[in-house]
Amino acid sequence: MQWLAIDFGTSNSAAALPYPGGVYRIPLEPGADTLPTAVFFPTDRGAMRIGRSAAEALITGEDGRYMRALKSVLGLPLLHESRLIAGRRRTLADVITAYLAELRSRAEAATGLTLRRALSGRPVHFHTADPGKDALAESDLRTCYLAAGFDEVRFLAEPEAAALASHRAGPGLGLIVDIGGGTSDFSLFRSSGGQPEILASHGIRLGGTDFDSSVSLTHAMPHLGLGGQLRREMGPGLLPVPRAPYVDLATWAKIPFLYTPETRRMAAGMQRLAEDPQAMGRLRAVIERELGHALAFAVERAKIEANGSAARGRLVLDEIGLAAEISAPGLEAALSGHRDELRLAATETVALAGADPAQVTEIILVGGSSLMGMVRAEMQALFPKASLRSAEAFTAVVDGLAIAAGEKTVA
């Protein structure tokens, strides 16, 4: 029976099959090699939508619950908490299962095959420096695959899969730098017999959604009252605005759970006591009008623009009167702490192999967030003798998984 290669990502997913001499990427949506890892449950209990259709439902203002960054809750108690979603109590494990089941169904429809065995990518570590959570996260994902109709599932580390698809034979060492939506993974390899020989792999729980969160907290949330002060209910003096609701609002996976009566009451009370009621009114509007994802998309767009050739991003959400700019230096400042984390993780990968940075002759950038300028700059600074090459940012992992799926050792 055929193995289906699946790259289940934080932001995007993909599926592929091996064939003699190549890889077939399955079009899970018309004209697309990837499928956004997002779902939308209509309030009227209509059929769940996934991918671009889910985003379109959100953008057009349909009533329902939009969810993204589902992978980030694997290994956490939040995965199994029952929530009322579009009139039904569901867990996030149920949502991931439904997404994987729909992905399998689309792959079968596109290929005419019965697909019951999955070779899935996984980050080197779902959780940084926590083997217990890491093992639980893989177990959680395996359970979701099996519940989605697969009879068997195996896993391969994502940067090792990317090495299969992206390496070039030659002297020296190569380093895969795979910066995805939720994790950053590294594999050091050398070519041996025309194949990459993995010398060491390492990873941390840091990715594009964390970049978005940092940019949001630094550049968007101050316009919603973060950093301000509240008058005391009784007596003189001021209190700092609590940070916790802003952190949740800046976290993709937590946004859907903010729209509760308790949170609405909290936002109203904070506006009443705020020294800057106009800014706090924006927070209240986001909560009451359920605009958290619209704000997150606005931050993501501004981040991408500031990282691009214009070196300036427009942070705009008309519904709450938010209009600001993010400069390239401002983006760099927001992400500076993450630069340090990436540096340490890449350095640790090379050290795990007992190698020297001077031996690295090629850096291969993979994953959508590897397109951030700070990633390229940091890797070039760490490995000055290495050339930098961008692989297929969004499909290198699934291509490598399909190559592995075609090998006898896997199948």
Q: DSSP per residue over 364-382, as a string?
A: EEESGGGGSHHHHHHHHHH
Give CA–CA dist 241/237, Å, rounded: 13
Beta-bridge partners for 36: 12
111 and 226 fall within a common domain: no
* 364 occurs within a structural domain: no
CA distances from 168 to 107, 131, 191, 384, 393 (A): 30, 33, 7, 19, 16
237 and 102 fall within a common domain: no
DSSP 168-185: ---SSEEEEEEE-SS-EE
Asked if residues 175 and 198 have their Cβ atoms less than 8 Å apart, the reply is no
* 197 occurs within a structural domain: no
29 and 158 fall within a common domain: yes
What is the number of domains present in the chain? 2
28 and 155 fall within a common domain: yes
* 349 occurs within a structural domain: no
Give CA–CA dist 42/409, Å, rounded: 43
153 and 235 fall within a common domain: no
9 and 111 fall within a common domain: yes
* 379 occurs within a structural domain: no
In the 8-state DSSP scheme, what is residue 233?
S
230 and 160 fall within a common domain: no
List b or e across 353-379, with b for residues whose CB sees 16 or more CB atoms inside 10 angstroms: bebebebbbbbbbbbbbbbbebbbebb
> Which two three-digit tokens encode residue 335?
């992400």
* 42 occurs within a structural domain: yes
* 374 occurs within a structural domain: no
113 and 251 fall within a common domain: no
SS3 category, 62: coil
For the chain, the straight-line distance linking the first and the last C-alpha, in angstroms and rounded, comes to 8
130 and 240 fall within a common domain: no
| Structural domain span for residue 12 | 3-169+392-405
Q: Where among 316, 331, 346 does a domain terminate?
A: 331
In the 8-state DSSP scheme, what is residue 187?
E
pLDDT tens, residue order, the chain (411 aa): 799 999 999 999 999 999 988 899 999 999 999 999 999 999 987 899 999 999 999 999 999 999 999 999 999 999 999 988 888 899 999 999 999 999 999 999 999 999 999 999 999 999 999 999 999 999 999 999 999 999 999 999 999 999 999 998 888 999 999 999 999 999 999 998 789 999 999 999 999 999 999 999 999 999 999 999 999 988 899 999 999 999 999 999 999 999 999 999 999 999 999 999 999 999 999 999 999 999 999 999 999 999 998 889 999 999 999 999 999 999 999 999 999 999 999 999 999 999 999 999 999 999 999 999 999 999 999 999 999 999 888 999 999 999 999 985 454
18 and 143 fall within a common domain: yes
Q: Where among 331, 351, 366 does a domain terminate?
A: 331
Q: Where among 306, 331, 356 does a domain terminate?
A: 331
Q: Which residue shows structure tokens 């986001």?
A: 286
12 and 142 fall within a common domain: yes
* 75 occurs within a structural domain: yes
Give CA–CA dist 128/341, Å, rounded: 11
Q: Looking at residue 38, which CATH number applies to its domain?
A: 3.30.420.40
In the 8-state DSSP scheme, what is residue 394?
T
Give CA–CA dist 206/341, Å, rounded: 8
* 13 occurs within a structural domain: yes
Burial of 214 (0-12, 13-18, 19+ CB in 10 A): buried
Give CA–CA dist 164/184, Å, rounded: 18
Q: Which residue shows structure tokens 């009139």?
A: 87
SS3 category, 1: coil
400 and 316 fall within a common domain: no
